[in-house]
Amino acid sequence: MMASSYNAKEEDGNPSSATVHGGAGTVKNKKPDNTAFKQQRLPAWQPILTAGTVLPAFFVIGLIFIPIGIGLFVTSNNIKEFEACLYSVYSKYSFSSLSTLQIDYTGVDLSSPCFNCSQNYIWNSTTPCTCSVPFSLDQPFESNVFMYYGLSNFYQNHRRYVKSRDDSQLNGDLSSLKNPSKECEPYRTSENKPIAPCGAIANSLFNDTLDLYYIDPNGSRTAIPLVKKGIAWWTDKHVKFRNPAGNNLTVVFQGTSKPVNWRKPVYELDPSDSDNNGFINEDFIVWMRTAALPTFRKLYRIIQKKPNNMSPTLPRGQYILDVTYNYPVRSFEGRKRMILSTISWMGGKNPFLGIAYITVGSVCFFLGIVLLIIHHKYGNRNNNADIPN
Amino acid sequence: HSFFPSCLLIEEERHVRANDRNYNDKFFYADNHIKTSKYNVFTFLPINLFEQFQRVANAYFLVLLILQLIPEISSLPWVTTTVPLVMVLVITAVKDATDDYFRYKSDQQVNNRQSQVLRGVLQNEKWMNVRVGDIIKLENNQFVAADILLLSSSEPYGLCYIETAELDGETNLKVRQALTVTSELGADILKLAEFNGEVICEAPNNKLDKFKGTLYWRGSKFPLDNEKMLLRGCVLRNTDWCFGMVIFAGLQTKLMQNCGRTTLKRTSIDKLMNTLVLWIFGFLVCMGVILAIGNTIWEQEVGRSFQVYLPWERPVSNNNAVFSGFLTFWSYIIILNTVVPISLYVSVEVIRLGHSYFINWDGKMYYGQKDTPAEARTTTLNEELGQVEFIFSDKTGTLTQNIMVFNKCSINGNTYGDVYDEFGHKVEVSERTACVDFSFNPLSDRKFTFHDSSLVEAIKMEEPSVQEFFRLLALCHTVMSEEKNEGDLLYQAQSPDEGALVSAARNFGFVFRSRTPETITLYEMGTAVTYQLLAILDFNNVRKRMSVIVRNPAGQTKLYCKGADTIIFDRLDPSNEDLMDTTSEHLNEFAGEGLRTLALAYKVLDRDFFEEWMTRLLLASTVMENREQRLADLYEEIETGLLLLGATAVEDKLQEGVPETIACLTLANIKIWVLTGDKLETAMNIGYSCNMLRDDMNEVFIISGHTAAEVQQQLRSAREHILGLSRVSNTADEEKTEMFSNDSVFEETIIAEYALIVNGHSLAHALEPELEQVLLETACLCKTVICCRVTPMQKAQVVELVKTNKMAVTLAIGDGANDVSMIRTAHIGVGISGQEGMQAVLASDYSFAQFRYLQRLLLVHGRWSYFRMCNFLFYFFYKNFAFTLVHFWFGFFCGFSAQTVYDQWFITLFNIVYTSLPVLAMGLFDQDVNEANSHRYPGLYRPGQLNLLFNKRQFFLCTLQGIVTSFLLFFVPYGAFSLGVRADGLHLSDQQSFAVTIATFYFICLFYCFCLRSCYCIGLDTYYWTAVNHLFVWGSLAVYFAILLAMQSDGLFSIFPSQFPYIGTARSCLAQWSVWLVILLTTAVCVLPGMAVRFLKTDLYPTLTDKVRRLQKASRKQGPREQNLRRVRRTSSRRSGYAFSHQQGYGELITSGKNMKVVHLHLAPSDKVRALCKQVRDGLAPTSEERAPF
């Protein structure tokens, strides 16, 4: 005998006659609204998996995926990529049909041209070590050629690494320039001066210099023109990265210190071009966009197609890659590569996508057939509405 | 007295002195101000927050938040946890605040009610200013302000009437009587103001029906009991005024002491969910440990040498790798926390709330005649409605309407009540059958219907036996009449049977008009006839009959008797034998139709004999010892040699659709047990008319032993009988039957139908610990179980027995205060908002007006709720696993550094904004099978009972699928992009692009699953796409892209450069062909295998749901079909019970005259008999004070 809740009834007078005799005479009746929503009768689309919908779906998906896959595969194959470690015999590196070239110049092997550089590495050494890697092209690169540097076993995606930057500072914020974010530790200050740009990412900026020379059949070297602008995202270049206000970068960065690993301060990254100097240096911007995986490549230079369509961008023949070897990777078993590649409508070489599409498409088609057979043999016996009541 | 309020000490005894405020104030009793609200403006925030953080989930997120504030660990910015947590806290707080505000408003309203308090003079006071010891005046129809001791009232003998509907739900009036000494105070304000009695009584408690105390006044002691108390919450009725003294006030009143919190019921899904959450925590810790070990190894092997670019934070320490692993563990716990999303609990609550609203809104569960919609009073049990296996039902008012209808009668060997057509065939009575015209009788009750006009003709012919028959019905009863306007008669009957009989007599021209203690006035065919009421030989359970002795105006003294046929037949005059046989046949016929019968007889008394008998009666009634027995013997003596008049048949009207509902629920494999306080006969009778008992049942076992041994013996033999027969029927499984005892599979195989009926004494024994297992086993072998004469406590025990031993979901349905215990005990309690008041409804979780709505509640709402909730949980866990485990895979590529794959904002908004609405829409609107088919195929209910849709196995499946999906989600893009280059030559695989693309993949894949609704992964799919689903799904997708682009826009970046570093990523990524190609591929890979498996399943092994769905689709064009549930009619030929209230009658109260408003003192003072009668009355009077007549 418990009253589980106690509510105030209507004011005194005649409180319960209304409740006892229901709403016979009451004005407002409690009948719920007869709307489709409240009665859960909203018109609805109610799909069912039947042979009539599933089997065609499989066939259609198969028929769509296989051509896409073939298309992707062919496109990707046109951008054939060649992977090799270019450190031994010269002749080994002449390939017949080659539109992507990948050269590992880390210098692991004794016979590699860059072996000495990789061994004698000292940060801040004043005399840069250089090495030259020769190679040959049997097929010319016809269109624009993109030059990448690739790094392996380099953990740009490590949490402590990723967060070690100050986006405000890079966006030209003066107070952050003088007082960088704590995230930048231990590359926040050096010699009691704030580092600009601060943080581990900036500190580890890739600083090898790669140059490409064409060896004329007569033996003379012609430098290939490498375009260093247009390699960063437009939003990065124009919105995300900005130099602190001021006409003279040297003045602006006064009172800051260069990152400890750098040889020159940020305002000297490209003294020749004020639009590519300081924080908006494109090499720097590309580096600052951290890679998701420990093996990655980053765009370094673009070799533009010659204005006259007649001669290829990179004709067949002998080439030399000149490396100014600054960047140490051997300590952590990293690798460095130089990659030359052309590009198709779907980007760079990527056999995975084409193969995956073909596989999935075929499996779908096959599955469709199997399901069709199963359905025909066994499916119908249950189709009747033999529903026990 | 001590300085401290005495309530801090335990109050053992209460001293209250009337009109002595100074004295009473010493004890610091609670005043009459009540406060049920929990908070005020200032305490709300701290108290509410404290309460909220007592919930495990909230506390867990608080811990996470604290972890995130530690820079070394924080792998996610603190906003990611704060935003969802704050949202959840705010939503809950707002809900709590509004609830509390309404409580506050209600408190205010109650506290400000006016009452008249005696402070020297009568003055109006607000309720909250009423103090213990005050004397207050109540007027008719007013609520009683506090628990007060009745001092005096406007009625004679200090009586007053109260209605206790708000306390115990009973709407009938109850009598309270003041002490004689105080009732003499009357309305004399001066005397009342001088009244200085002191009450010493028990301390405040919650027993509504007990009170013990003593009044000390003028040097004497007067015992006080509950009959002198008016409790707060009652309403004064039929009493112009009364005065009382406040004993308990405010929170110490019995009503408020009863407002304790009801125990919180939790569903099995709730419990499962908690278990699963714990498992997930375990899983989380495991993953954390794996990744932490990975981190230690990585730091040792790789990180150590990578220090050129990423120096260790403490480069000197040797244990750096181990320490880093330790920190990483916590970092990963933070990152992976989305596996147990905080929004889970909120979403579940929202879905349940939505389902409750759908129940409230259901037009098909609205009962127009009473204007009662169905009400989900608890919002947390909905999905359990889809899993019910046992229903425990009350009978009266639940299966039946508790309305008795005078249906047939047998008078002097003729039956009346059947309708015949012109060919002499019996016609089925229906709505359209013509009713008898009672217009000849101006006092007739318009609501009364009768279909056989021959009876009226017989009345009009003035056949003496028919007249005598109805005269008896009009005289022999304890009904009170009330006539507000001329001819507007209202009968107040103690039992509905009596009411039906008196109403029948009224319509047939023998109108019971009014009564005084000594007379009964009838209008016999239009003329007023006043009978002198000489004695009422009241009903009790042993006598099973009642008689009145009246003297008609002609001076004839007659005894009219009605009662159970067997009893009456024993007391008939031998000359009646032939009539008895015919009537007996008729009685059998009536009983076969499930009617409740009474036999009627009369006797003309010899005047001298009667006077002599009356004298002896007077003597007997004044004797103190053995009075009851002596009276019974005297009654027995005079009730002999009766002349049979005939028999009545009253239909205990079943509620509409009860047999159909029971048939349908039985098909849904729900076992229905009827637990009733009624007699065995009545219960069986109803059992037959509800189709729960049938003549074609193999055996109906009746357990009616009086000792434990007997009961055990009967139960055993019943069980052996069932098992023995079954063993014969399937001899193949002979060895299997050896271990039958607890084998539910075996129980299922019993095809034969049995019924078990247990009566009250036997049940008491059977519920003993030694026997309860036998009872349970036997009962579960039977299709039907009926327990009669069950006390409320036993009802709860039976429910408890099944609940604890069968691991099944139980539902109890009832309408009266006696059902409250079982409603509270069962997993789900359903209250019928019927005639007996609100008590059951208040204790229930769901309430509606008609039993038949139970079918819809279970088969439609319950099934949908369960189905939706399961799908929701499955999908929810799946989506979070798929979402979160990507981090696990990524760990292997980022040096186990707890770097997140996604943008922090995506993680923050993921559960709350992006994915909650479509999943919610599914959880709210999904329907696998429409309502008509849910009714038509009760077999669809089975999966819920077997708990098939969401259990630990399903959870493993969904975990597995989540893991696979996350694997695909990570590695397909990994394969596609690790070397990927954009169409403009820029690299694609930078951290941010990767994040955005994976997030987008994930997202589109998730929606693809939604759209194709076929990812077997989801196994469940949205079956049902309403406009709302479309809106939510496409809306969420749109919102995702909108927010994505907004978060990565130039504008936001320029304001908070360090908070929105993803600027431009989405724009540049989503513009790439290859990204979309990969999205398409990933989605296909995630979806197709599931689709194939699901197709095969529905094609080869379709479940009932699949079949019905197919059928539903095929028949959609044909339009809805007629319900084809067989109409169940019963044919039975067994003897039914008799119609009578099973409580002691009103007789004494009537003859004592105490309940007569105006005592008509009539003529004839010198009559000896009258004098005798008065003496008898007075002699009997004290007994009514000792014992509550009601």
Question: What are B339-393's pLDDT values in tens digits?
Answer: 877 778 778 888 988 999 999 999 889 988 888 889 888 888 888 999 999 999 9
Q: Of A43-47, B475-479, B1173-1177, which one has max mean pLDDT?
A: B475-479
- CB atoms A382 and B1099 under 8 Å: yes
Question: What are B208-252's pLDDT values in tens digits?
Answer: 777 888 899 888 888 888 888 888 888 887 788 999 999 998 888
pLDDT reading at B817 higher than 90: no
Query: What mean pLDDT, rounded, does chain A reach?
Result: 78
Question: What are A132-151's pLDDT values in tens digits?
Answer: 888 877 777 778 888 888 88
Question: What are B760-776's pLDDT values in tens digits?
Answer: 788 888 888 888 888 88
B677 is in an annotated binding site: yes
Report the alpha-carbon distance of residue A91 to residue A87 in Å, rounded.
11
B1025 touching chain A per CB within 8 A = yes
Instruction: Give chain A positions within 8 Å (CB) of B324.
Output: none
Q: Which residue has the tokens 């040889």?
A: A263
Q: Other CB atoms closer than 10 Å to residue B268's CB: what's the count?
A: 17
B795 is in an annotated binding site: yes
- CB atoms B976 and A352 under 8 Å: yes
Residue A96: the pLDDT is: 35
Residue A7: the pLDDT is: 39
Is residue A382 very low, low, confident or very high in pLDDT (cuts 50, 70, 90)? Answer: low
pLDDT reading at B410 higher than 70: yes
Ramachandran quadrant class, A366 (left: phi over 0; alpha: psi -120 to 50; beta: rest) = alpha
Looking at CA atoms only, how far is residue A307 from chain B in angstroms?
19
Query: What mean pLDDT, rounded, does chain B reach?
Result: 79
What residue of B is the nearest CA neighbor of A32? B361
Residue of higher predicted confidence among B1009 and B698: B698
Report the alpha-carbon distance of residue A343 to residue B919 in Å, rounded.
42
B1121 is in an annotated binding site: no
Report the alpha-carbon distance of residue B760 to residue B789 in Å, rounded.
5
Q: Other CB atoms closer than 10 Å to residue B1189's CB: what's the count?
A: 20
- CB atoms A155 and B310 under 8 Å: yes
B498 is in an annotated binding site: yes
- CB atoms A155 and B897 under 8 Å: yes
Residue B34: the pLDDT is: 81
Is residue A97 very low, low, confident or very high in pLDDT (cuts 50, 70, 90)? Answer: very low
Going through B570-668 in order, the beta strands assigned E by DSSP cover: 595-605, 643-654
Mutation target to probe the B interface, by most B beta carbons within 10 A, among A146, A156, A238, A293 is A293
Residues 6+ apart with CB under 8 A from B173: B161, B162, B163, B237, B238, B1190
Query: Which of A318-327, B428-437, B844-853 has the least mean pLDDT?
Result: B428-437
Instruction: Give chain A positions within 8 Å (CB) of B114.
Output: 12
pLDDT reading at B742 higher than 50: no
Domain ranges in chain B with CATH number 3.40.50.1000: 353-398+655-726+752-859
Q: Which residues of B are catalytic?
A: 394
Mutation target to probe the A interface, by most A beta carbons within 10 A, among B78, B237, B308 is B308
Token output for B89 = 């806290």
Cβ burial of B286 (10 Å; 0-12, 13-18, 19+) is exposed
Report the alpha-carbon distance of residue B512 to residue B500 in Å, rounded.
12
Question: What are B79-120's pLDDT values in tens digits?
Answer: 777 887 888 888 888 888 888 888 888 888 888 888 889 888
pLDDT reading at A21 higher than 60: no
Residue B141: the pLDDT is: 84
In order of A322, B530, B538, the CA distances from B520 in angstroms are 129, 6, 16
Residue of higher predicted confidence among B1188 and B1177: B1177
Query: Which of A264-268, B723-727, B905-909, B1061-1065 has the least mean pLDDT?
Result: B723-727
- Residues facing residue A149 across a β-bridge: A298, A338
Instruction: Give chain B positions within 8 Å (CB) of A333.
Output: 305
Is residue A173 very low, low, confident or very high in pLDDT (cuts 50, 70, 90)? Answer: confident
Q: What is the ipTM of this complex?
A: 0.85
Report the alpha-carbon distance of residue A30 to residue B368 in Å, rounded.
9
B371 touching chain A per CB within 8 A = yes
Question: What are A327-345's pLDDT values in tens digits?
Answer: 888 888 888 888 888 777 7
Instruction: Give chain A positions within 8 Å (CB) of B939.
Output: 387-389
Q: Which residue has the tokens 């769509």?
A: A64
pLDDT reading at B1057 higher than 80: no
Q: Phi and psi at residue B243, in whole multiples of 5°?
A: -115, 145
What residue of A is the nearest CA neighbor of B1055? A168
In order of A51, A62, B187, B1014, B1083, the CA distances from A57 in angstroms are 10, 8, 90, 12, 14
Instruction: Give chain A positions within 8 Å (CB) of B260.
Output: 2
Question: What are B430-468's pLDDT values in tens digits?
Answer: 666 777 777 778 777 777 888 888 888 888 888 888 989
Looking at CA atoms only, how far is residue B371 from chain A in angstroms?
5
In order of A318, A375, B1120, the CA distances from A387 in angstroms are 79, 20, 18
pTM: 0.78
B843 touching chain A per CB within 8 A = yes
Cβ burial of B153 (10 Å; 0-12, 13-18, 19+) is buried
> What's the mean pLDDT in B1054-1080?
78
Instruction: Give chain B positions within 8 Å (CB) of A33.
Output: 361, 363
**Closest by Cβ to B939, choosing from A181, A360, A388:** A388
- CB atoms B1092 and A58 under 8 Å: yes
Token output for B933 = 């088919």
**Closest by Cβ to A290, choosing from B209, B306, B990:** B990
**Closest by Cβ to B1109, choosing from A2, A8, A48:** A48
Token output for B157 = 């003998």
Strand, coil or helix: B337: helix
Looking at CA atoms only, how far is residue B441 from chain A in angstroms?
26
B897 touching chain A per CB within 8 A = yes
* Domain B400-654 part of CATH 3.40.1110.10: yes
Q: Are B557 and B534 in contact (CB under 8 A)?
A: yes
Question: What are B536-570's pLDDT values in tens digits?
Answer: 888 776 787 889 999 988 888 999 999 888 888 88
Residue B388: the pLDDT is: 92
- CB atoms B1094 and A44 under 8 Å: no
Instruction: Give chain B positions within 8 Å (CB) of A385.
Output: 1107, 1110-1111
Is residue B1144 very low, low, confident or very high in pLDDT (cuts 50, 70, 90)? Answer: low
**DSSP letter assigned to residue A309:** T
Q: Phi and psi at residue B584, in whole multiples of 5°?
A: -60, -40
Q: With pLDDT > 90 as the criterion, what percentage of chain B qualifies?
A: 7
Report the alpha-carbon distance of residue B599 to residue B587 in Å, rounded.
9
> What's the mean pLDDT in B1133-1150?
53
Question: What are B174-192's pLDDT values in tens digits?
Answer: 778 888 888 888 888 888 8
Going through B763-915 in order, the beta strands assigned E by DSSP cover: 784-787, 809-814, 828-832, 846-848
Sign of the alpha-carbon dihedral angle for A310, A312, A315, A316: negative
pLDDT reading at B316 higher than 60: no
Residue of higher predicted confidence among B647 and B1037: B647
**Closest by Cβ to A160, choosing from B370, B897, B979:** B897
In order of A161, B879, B887, B915, B1053, the CA distances from B1040 in angstroms are 29, 16, 21, 9, 18
Report the alpha-carbon distance of residue B749 to residue B730 in Å, rounded.
9
Q: Are B820 and B801 in contact (CB under 8 A)?
A: no
Q: Are B391 and B661 in contact (CB under 8 A)?
A: no
CATH ID of B13-19+130-259, from 3.10.129.10, 2.70.150.10, 3.65.10.10, 3.50.20.10:
2.70.150.10
B382 is in an annotated binding site: no
Instruction: Give chain B positions within 8 Å (CB) of A388.
Output: 939, 1104
B353-398+655-726+752-859: CATH topology = Rossmann fold (3.40.50)
Domain ranges in chain B with CATH number 2.70.150.10: 13-19+130-259
Rg of chain B's alpha carbons, rounded to an integer?
A: 38
Query: Which of A38-47, B660-669, B1162-1171 has the least mean pLDDT?
Result: B1162-1171
Q: Phi and psi at residue B1073, in whole multiples of 5°?
A: -55, -45
Query: Which residue pairs from B437-445 have beta carbons closer than 8 angstroms and sit at least 24 positions apart in sequence?
Result: B438/B507, B440/B509, B441/B507, B441/B508, B441/B509, B441/B511, B441/B526, B442/B487, B443/B487, B443/B489, B443/B506, B443/B511, B443/B513, B443/B523, B444/B506, B444/B507, B445/B489, B445/B503, B445/B506, B445/B507
Nearest alpha carbon to residue B132 among B252, B219, B289, B47: B252
Question: What are B713-729's pLDDT values in tens digits?
Answer: 888 888 888 887 655 44
Q: Other CB atoms closer than 10 Å to residue A4's CB: what's the count?
A: 17
What residue of B is the nearest CA neighbor of A385? B1107
- CB atoms A367 and B1081 under 8 Å: no
> What's the mean pLDDT in B952-960?
88
Helix (H) or strand (E) holding B565: helix B565-570
Q: How many helices (H) and strands (E) does chain B have?
A: 43, 36
- Residues facing residue B139 across a β-bridge: B241
Is residue A99 very low, low, confident or very high in pLDDT (cuts 50, 70, 90)? Answer: low
Pairing of strands B510-515, A209-215: unpaired
Nearest alpha carbon to residue B201 among B154, B232, B247: B247
Cβ burial of B104 (10 Å; 0-12, 13-18, 19+) is middle
Is residue B778 very low, low, confident or very high in pLDDT (cuts 50, 70, 90)? Answer: confident
Query: Which of A195-204, B235-244, B888-897, B1010-1019 has the least mean pLDDT?
Result: B1010-1019
B980 touching chain A per CB within 8 A = yes
Mutation target to probe the A interface, by most A beta carbons within 10 A, among B981, B1055, B1096, B1112 is B981
Question: What are B1-30's pLDDT values in tens digits?
Answer: 334 444 445 677 888 888 888 888 888 888
B815 is in an annotated binding site: yes
Mutation target to probe the B interface, by most B beta carbons within 10 A, among A9, A30, A31, A49 is A49
Looking at CA atoms only, how far is residue B773 from chain A in angstroms?
29
- CB atoms A157 and B893 under 8 Å: yes
Q: Which residue has the tokens 């009250």?
A: B760
Residue B1170: the pLDDT is: 53
Looking at CA atoms only, how far is residue B927 from chain A in angstroms?
9
Is residue B880 very low, low, confident or very high in pLDDT (cuts 50, 70, 90)? Answer: confident
- CB atoms A44 and B981 under 8 Å: no
Strand, coil or helix: B614: helix
Query: Which of A62-76, A172-186, B1118-1132 has the least mean pLDDT?
Result: B1118-1132
Cis ω for the linkage preceding A186 (within 30 of 0): yes
Report the alpha-carbon distance of residue B502 to residue A341 in Å, rounded.
106
B174 touching chain A per CB within 8 A = no
Instruction: Give chain B positions within 8 Å (CB) of A43.
Output: 1026-1027
Q: Are A157 and A212 in contact (CB under 8 A)?
A: no
B936 residue type, one letter = R
Per-residue b or e along B442-463, where b marks 16 or more CB atoms closer than 10 Å to that residue's CB? ebbbeebebbbeebbebbeeeb
* Chain B residues 177-216 with a CB less than 8 Å from chain A: 206, 208-209
Q: Which residue has the tokens 């690169």?
A: A141
The Cβ-side half-sphere exposure at A373, using a 13 Å CA radius, reads 5
